[in-house]
C-alpha cells in the first residue's frame, strides 16, 4: 500500500501529496527519510498462476510511479526548506529522540465547492512540543489557497508565503514558542479557489469525482525548525460543507449529516491517533457506490459515477483480501466503516491507504488480473501495517510497513495454491527476489533493513530500483527468514501480540524482537544483529558423517565468526523430514542426529539470506554423496536461465521455479559449466 504522506508510485499509505509536481525536488529530497506515511503499495505480488501468452506486465514507468509515489509520501514528514541533512552518527539501535512539533488533535471546518473550486476553511491544531519548544512552522495548500489569519491561543501569528525549489508553502511565526508538555491551540484560516490542475498534485476536480487530500484543502503542517522523523499521531474531527446534491466520502468515520443553508453538511471523526502527515482524503461528487458483502463493518466500493469493469473485480476480491489481512493481524480491522476507492486511470494518483480507506488506480488492470489482485491485497495490508500499526522508526526502516505488507501479499498468493508445500512455495518466491538481484548488484549489498538514519536516508534518496529492493524485497525476505527461524506459529503469535500491544503507536525493533523472544522462547539478539542490523550472505557448508555404530553427525561450517540460530531440514531413510533448530557458534558447529538419516540440508526458506551448500562438491540433494541422483536432478535443467534483468518489475514476473540447486556457480544460469562441475565431482563423498 502506499501511505500517502506523499505520493509514491507503488501503492500507498495515506497520501499527503504536495501540490507541485516539483515537490519531488524540494519535499522529497529534503524530507526523504521517512515518516509515517508510507506509500504502502505493493512491491509486486507473487504470481497467482503461470502467465498466459497474452499476459502483459506493467511498463517500467508504471512501476517507477508506484514506488516513487510511496517514497515521496514517506519523505514528506521530514520536510523543512531550511534544513540541511547531515549524517547522523547513530547506531541502528539508538534512534534519534523525537523533538519539536507534536500534533495531538485537529479540528477542521471546511466549505468546498468542487464545481468552482471555492474553499473557505478553519483548522484548529492542538499541539505540544517534544524535548524542546518550537515557534516556526509551515503548511502547504493547493495553489490558489491563501492563509488569511493565524493565531496561537488567540494571539496573532505572522504568516509569509514562501517558495523553495518549486515548492510553495506558508511560514507561520508564532508569537511565542510552544512549550514542551503544554498543550496549545494554533488556529489557521484559509480560503481561495483551489487550482487542482497539477496531474501530480494533491487534488483533482474531475466532473462527479473531485478528490482532495493532504496538501490541498487539508493543510500539510510541519515544524520548520526541528522536524521529527518519528510517528506523530493525531485524532481528527471534520465538518464538511458541500453544495446540496453532492455526495461525499472521507477517510474517517461518519458521525452525522444535515442540510443547512443550501449545503449538505457531514461530520467525520478519526478517533485514533493517525499520523497527520499521512494522506487524509475526501471524495466529493456523484459518487458510484456498491456494498461489499461478507464484511462485518459496512464496506463500500466508491468510484466515479461511470462504472468500469474494474468495479466488479474489486468487489469480488475485497472480502477475501480484507479477511486475509485480518487473519494475519489476528483481529478485525478496527474501522466503523471501510471505503474502497477505485481511482480512474485518468488520474496519476496510483493509490494508497488512509484511515478506513483503500485506494487503487484501475490502470493496474492493464497488467492482468494477477497483478491487479495482488496489488489490491498489498494495499489493503497497509490498513494493518501503516494505519493501525504505524512504523515507529520510519527514518531507519520500512520493514514494518512495506516489508510486512509484501510478506502478507506473498502469503496471500500462497493461499491460492493450497496443495503446494508452504516452505517450498515461500522459498522459491523469496529465492526469486535474490536471483533478480544477482543482475542488479546482489541483494546483500543493499543496506541493512534497519539502518542508521544517515544510511537509510541515502537509500531513500537512491533510485527506484535500489529503494524498492531495500524497502519491499529485502525487508520482506528478512521477515520471512526470521519467521522460518523461530517457526511460523511463534511468529504468528508474536505478530498478533504486536497488533494488540502497539496499535496506533508502533513498536521499535527491540520491542518487536521482545515479542518474538517471548513467543518462541529463543534469544534472538544474535539473529537480529546478523540479519537485520547487518548485511551480507554467509556461506554455510553442511556435511554429515557416520561413525562405526551408525550414528550420524552434521557439521556446519560457516565463512564468518559470530553466532546465530539456524534450522536444519533432516530427512530420514523412510522419507520423513523434520526440522532441527541449532545455534551456529563460531565457524564450525557439530550436531548429533538421531535416526536413520538420509540427508541434512537447510530449512528451504533460509537459503535466501544465507548460502547453504553441501560440504561435498556436486551434492545437490545434501545426502553427502555426489552421485547419479545429483546428475539426474540437474541434467534436464541445463540451459535454464533465471528470467530477469535490471528492468524486471519487482515480484510480478520473477521466475520462481529456477533450479537454484543446479546453479553451482550462482550466476543465475544452469549452463555447461555447472554440469561439467557436477560430472567432475561424480563419486565424491566426505
pLDDT above 90 for 644? no
Domains of the chain: 100-289 (2.60.40.1730), 539-681 (no CATH)
Q: What number of residues does the chain have?
A: 686
Paired with 552 in beta bridges are 546, 593
DSSP secondary structure letter of residue 315 = H
Average of pLDDT values for 591-610? Answer: 95
pLDDT above 60 for 263? yes
pLDDT above 90 for 450? yes
Measured from the Cβ of residue 177, the count of other Cβ atoms closer than 10 Å reads 15
Average of pLDDT values for 660-674? Answer: 92
Distance CA 626, CA 678 (A): 8
- Find all residues with CB under 8 Å of 546, minimum gap 6, and list them: 552, 553
Cα distance between the two ends of the chain: 50
Strands 552-558 and 167-178: unpaired
pLDDT above 50 for 354? yes
Of the candidates 265, 275, 266, 267, the one whose C-alpha atom is nearest the C-alpha of residue 235 is: 275
pLDDT confidence of residue 647: 52
pLDDT above 90 for 24? no
Contact 453, 90 (CB under 8 A): yes
pLDDT confidence of residue 200: 82
* Confidence tier at 11 by pLDDT (50, 70, 90): very low
Distance CA 81, CA 167 (A): 9
| More confident call, 164 vs 533 | 533
Backbone angles phi, psi at 122, to 5 degrees: -135, 135
pTM reported for the whole predicted model: 0.88
pLDDT, tens digit, for every residue of 275-287? Answer: 998 899 999 999 9
Average of pLDDT values for 390-415? Answer: 94
Q: Kindly state the cell numbers that stand for 462.
A: 537512491
> In the chain, how long is the greatest CA-to-CA distance?
95
pLDDT, tens digit, for every residue of 70-98? Answer: 665 555 544 445 443 322 223 333 334 45
In 28-157, which ranges are E strands? 100-112, 118-130, 134-140, 145-152, 155-156
b/e per residue 55-80 (b: at least 16 CB within 10 A):
bebbeeebbbbbbbbbbbbbbbbbbb
Q: How many Cα atoms sit within 13 Å of 221 on the Cβ side?
A: 28
pLDDT confidence of residue 7: 28
pLDDT confidence of residue 231: 85
In terms of average pLDDT, the best of 85-89, 355-359, 632-636 is: 355-359
| More confident call, 79 vs 375 | 375
pLDDT above 50 for 2? no
Distance CA 556, CA 640 (A): 30
Contact 24, 68 (CB under 8 A): yes
* Confidence tier at 463 by pLDDT (50, 70, 90): confident
pLDDT above 80 for 67? no
Q: Kindly state the cell numbers that stand for 202.
A: 494533491
Backbone angles phi, psi at 280, to 5 degrees: -105, 125
Rounded percentage of the chain residues whose pLDDT exceeds 90: 69
pLDDT confidence of residue 642: 85
pLDDT confidence of residue 137: 93
pLDDT above 70 for 42? no
pLDDT above 70 for 55? no
Average of pLDDT values for 24-30? Answer: 30
Distance CA 292, CA 385 (A): 22
pLDDT, tens digit, for every residue of 541-558? Answer: 999 998 888 899 999 999
pLDDT, tens digit, for every residue of 404-429? Answer: 999 999 999 999 989 999 999 999 99
DSSP secondary structure letter of residue 662 = G
Per-residue three-class SS string for 455-472: HHHHHHHCCHHHHHHHHH
pLDDT confidence of residue 14: 32
Helix (H) or strand (E) holding 392: none
pLDDT, tens digit, for every residue of 492-538? Answer: 999 999 999 999 999 999 999 999 999 999 999 999 999 999 999 99
With H, G, I as helix, E, B as strand and everything else as coil, classify residue 125.
strand
Dihedral angle of Cα 377, 383, 389, 395, to the nearest 10 degrees: 80
pLDDT above 70 for 25? no
Mean pLDDT over the full length of the chain: 85
- Find all residues with CB under 8 Å of 94, minimum gap 6, and list them: none
Average of pLDDT values for 600-615? Answer: 96
Range in 6-15, 241-250, 467-476 with the lowest mean pLDDT: 6-15
pLDDT confidence of residue 46: 35
pLDDT above 80 for 333? yes
Of the candidates 266, 364, 244, 344, the one whose C-alpha atom is nearest the C-alpha of residue 303 is: 344
Rounded percentage of the chain residues whose pLDDT exceeds 70: 83
pLDDT above 60 for 465? yes
Q: Kindly state the cell numbers that stand for 102.
A: 507534536
* Confidence tier at 20 by pLDDT (50, 70, 90): very low
SS3 content of the chain, % helix, strand, coil (to 5): 30, 30, 40
Contact 352, 36 (CB under 8 A): no
Amino acid at each position: 500500500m502506499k501511505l500517502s504522506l506523499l505520493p509514491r508510485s507503488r501503492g500507498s499509505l495515506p497520501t499527503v501529496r504536495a501540490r507541485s509536481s516539483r515537490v519531488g525536488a524540494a519535499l522529497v529530497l529534503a524530507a526523504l527519510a521517512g515518516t509515517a506515511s508510507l506509500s504502502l503499495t505493493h512491491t509486486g505480488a507473487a504470481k497467482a498462476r503461470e502467465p498466459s501468452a497474452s499476459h502483459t506486465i506493467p511498463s517500467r514507468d508504471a512501476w517507477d510511479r508506484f514506488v516513487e509515489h510511496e517514497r515521496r509520501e514517506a519523505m514528506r514528514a521530514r520536510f523543512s526548506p531550511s534544513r540541511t541533512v547531515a549524517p547522523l552518527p547513530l547506531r541502528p539501535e539508538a534512534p534519534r529522540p523525537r523533538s519539536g512539533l507534536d500534533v495531538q488533535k485537529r479540528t477542521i471546518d471546511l466549505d468546498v465547492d468542487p464545481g468552482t473550486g471555492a474553499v473557505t476553511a478553519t483548522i484548529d491544531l492542538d499541539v505540544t512540543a517534544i524535548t524542546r519548544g518550537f515557534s516556526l512552522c509551515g503548511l502547504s495548500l493547493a495553489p490558489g489557497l491563501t492563509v488569511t489569519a493565524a493565531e496561537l491561543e488567540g494571539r496573532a501569528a505572522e504568516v509569509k508565503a514562501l517558495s523553495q525549489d518549486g515548492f510553495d508553502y506558508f511560514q507561520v511565526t508564532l508569537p511565542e514558542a510552544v512549550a514542551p508538555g503544554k498543550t496549545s491551540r494554533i488556529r489557521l484560516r484559509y480560503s481561495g479557489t483551489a487550482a487542482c490542475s497539477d496531474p501530480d498534485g494533491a487534488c483533482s476536480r474531475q466532473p462527479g469525482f473531485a478528490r482532495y487530500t493532504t496538501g490541498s484543502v487539508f493543510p500539510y503542517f510541519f515544524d520548520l525548525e526541528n522536524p521529527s522523523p518519528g510517528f506523530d499521531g493525531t485524532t481528527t474531527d471534520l465538518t464538511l460543507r458541500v453544495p446540496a446534491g453532492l455526495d461525499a466520502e472521507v477517510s474517517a468515520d461518519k458521525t452525522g449529516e444535515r442540510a443547512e443553508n443550501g449545503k449538505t453538511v457531514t461530520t467525520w471523526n478519526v478517533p485514533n491517533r493517525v499520523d497527520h502527515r499521512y494522506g487524509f482524503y475526501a471524495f466529493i461528487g456523484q459518487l458510484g457506490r456498491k456494498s461489499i458483502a461478507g464484511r462485518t463493518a459496512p464496506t463500500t466500493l466508491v468510484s466515479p459515477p461511470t462504472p468500469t469493469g474494474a468495479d466488479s473485480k474489486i468487489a469480488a476480491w475485497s472480502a477475501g483480501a480484507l479477511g486475509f489481512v485480518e487473519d494475519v493481524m489476528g483481529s478485525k480491522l478496527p474501522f466503523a466503516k471501510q471505503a474502497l476507492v477505485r481511482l480512474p486511470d485518468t488520474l496519476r494518483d496510483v493509490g494508497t491507504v488512509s484511515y478506513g480507506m483503500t485506494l487503487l488506480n484501475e490502470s493496474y488492470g492493464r497488467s492482468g488480473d494477477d497483478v491487479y489482485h495482488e496489488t489490491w491485497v498489498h494495499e489493503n495490508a497497509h490498513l494493518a501495517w501503516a494505519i493501525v500499526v504505524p512504523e515507529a522508526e520510519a527514518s531507519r526502516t520500512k520493514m514494518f510497513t512495506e516489508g510486512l505488507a509484501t510478506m502478507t501479499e506473498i502469503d496471500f498468493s500462497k493461499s491460492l495454491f493450497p496443495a503446494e508445500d508452504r516452505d517450498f512455495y515461500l522459498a522459491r518466491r523469496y529465492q526469486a527476489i535474490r536471483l533478480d538481484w544477482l543482475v542488479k548488484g546482489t541483494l546483500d549489498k543493499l543496506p541493512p533493513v534497519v539502518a542508521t538514519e544517515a544510511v537509510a536516508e541515502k537509500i531513500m534518496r537512491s533510485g527506484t530500483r535500489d529503494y524498492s529492493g531495500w524497502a519491499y524485497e529485502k525487508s520482506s525476505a528478512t521477515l520471512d527468514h526470521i519467521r522460518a527461524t523461530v517457526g511460523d506459529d511463534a511468529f504468528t503469535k508474536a505478530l498478533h501480540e504486536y497488533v494488540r500491544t502497539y496499535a496506533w503507536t508502533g513498536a521499535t525493533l527491540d520491542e518487536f524482537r521482545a515479542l518474538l523472544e517471548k513467543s518462541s522462547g529463543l534469544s534472538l539478539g544474535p539473529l537480529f544483529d546478523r540479519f537485520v542490523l547487518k548485511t551480507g550472505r554467509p556461506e554455510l557448508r553442511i556435511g554429515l558423517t557416520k561413525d562405526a555404530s551408525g550414528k550420524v553427525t552434521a557439521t556446519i561450517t560457516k565463512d564468518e565468526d559470530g553466532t546465530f540460530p539456524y534450522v536444519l531440514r533432516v530427512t530420514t531413510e523412510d522419507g520423513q523430514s523434520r526440522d532441527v533448530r541449532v545455534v551456529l557458534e563460531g565457524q564450525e558447529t557439530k550436531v548429533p542426529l538421531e535416526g536413520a538419516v538420509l540427508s541434512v540440508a537447510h530449512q528451504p526458506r533460509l537459503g535466501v539470506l544465507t548460502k547453504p551448500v553441501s560440504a561435498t562438491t556436486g551434492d545437490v540433494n545434501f545426502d553427502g554423496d555426489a552421485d547419479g541422483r545429483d546428475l539426474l536432478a540437474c541434467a534436464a535443467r541445463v540451459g535454464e536461465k533465471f528470467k530477469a534483468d535490471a528492468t524486471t518489475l519487482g515480484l510480478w514476473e520473477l521466475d520462481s521455479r529456477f533450479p537454484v540447486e543446479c546453479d553451482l556457480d550462482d550466476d543465475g544460469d544452469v549452463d555447461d559449466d555447472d554440469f561439467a562441475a557436477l560430472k567432475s565431482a561424480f563419486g565424491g563423498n566426505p
